[in-house]
Amino acid sequence: MSRRSTDEIRSSIEANRAQLELSVVRLRGEVAELTDWRRQITRHKREVYAGAAIAGFLLGGLLIPRRRKR
């Protein structure tokens, strides 16, 4: 079992802390980008339009009274 000096342990802790801080900053940026609904709509316009059209057809079909056959 190797023994590390106090300075080595402190140095290791500081390196881990710096790496963790960088990871948190990157993660915050990714979360901000993924939760920006305006950017998502801009990126996926075709899918948004298709979804809106499908929803419109479905709602229109439910709201239009159906004629009964006699």
Contact 33, 39 (CB under 8 A): yes
Alpha-carbon radius of gyration of the chain: 28
CA distance 20 to 16: 6
**Domain of residue 50, residue span:** 6-63
pTM: 0.55
**Does residue 19 surpass a pLDDT of 90?**
yes
- Asked whether residue 69 is domain-assigned, the answer is no
pLDDT-based confidence at residue 1 (cuts at 50, 70, 90): low
- Is position 70 within any domain? no
User: Count of domains in the chain?
Assistant: 1
Question: Is residue 1 included in any domain, yes or no?
Answer: no
